[in-house]
Every structure is written in C-alpha cells, then in structure tokens.
Amino acid sequence: MSFLEQSGLGKVTVDDVERQVSLQGEWWYRGEYIIKDHNGRSLIQYRVYNIAPGTTRWLVPLFAPSHEKLREQFHGLLGTLGHILRAGWRYSPNR
C-alpha cells in the first residue's frame, strides 16, 4: 500500500494487493475505485463515503454533489481511461 499527497487533490492511497485506489479530500469525502476481474476484463466500481466527523455528517448533503453528478463524473473518467488505454468501455450502473 502506498500513500501519495498532492496539493489540491487530497490524500491518495493505492493498494496494489486489493486493486483499489482511494481519494480522501475536503472534510467529508472519501471515494474508492475498486478494480476486479470480470470475464477476462476489468470491472471498476466506484464508491463514495461520507466521512464527516460526528455532528457534521448531516451537512454533507448540502455540499456534496448529487448522485447524478457523481455518476456523470465517473462516466467521464471511464471515457478518459478508455481513450488513454485505447480500450473499449461500457458503463453499467449498479442495480
């Protein structure tokens, strides 16, 4: 596991064994990208956690992007990765 600090980006953690990249920023946000094998391809899952301390947790919905906005950003990331890697990709929402 390695930790990377980047100004303006927050704390980035890369876990090669678990195939996971985590980004923790601001006071409420932790996002995790988990890469799994899926029928000879890669399945990338994205999870967002509210890590706000104690009594401030209820404030998060006032500041956090909507689920639709998060989905849109993830969709954009997949498109960018597909372009960079010259690989096909498909967005399949969790049901």
Q: What is the pLDDT of residues 79-93, one digit of tens each?
A: 887 788 787 777 777
Average pLDDT over residues 42-48: 87
| Per-residue pLDDT at 95 exceeds 60 | no
Average pLDDT over residues 21-44: 86
For the chain, what is the mean pLDDT? 81
pTM: 0.71
Give the side-chain half-sphere CA count within 13 A for 22.
14
Q: What is the pLDDT of residue 15?
A: 86
| Per-residue pLDDT at 3 exceeds 80 | no
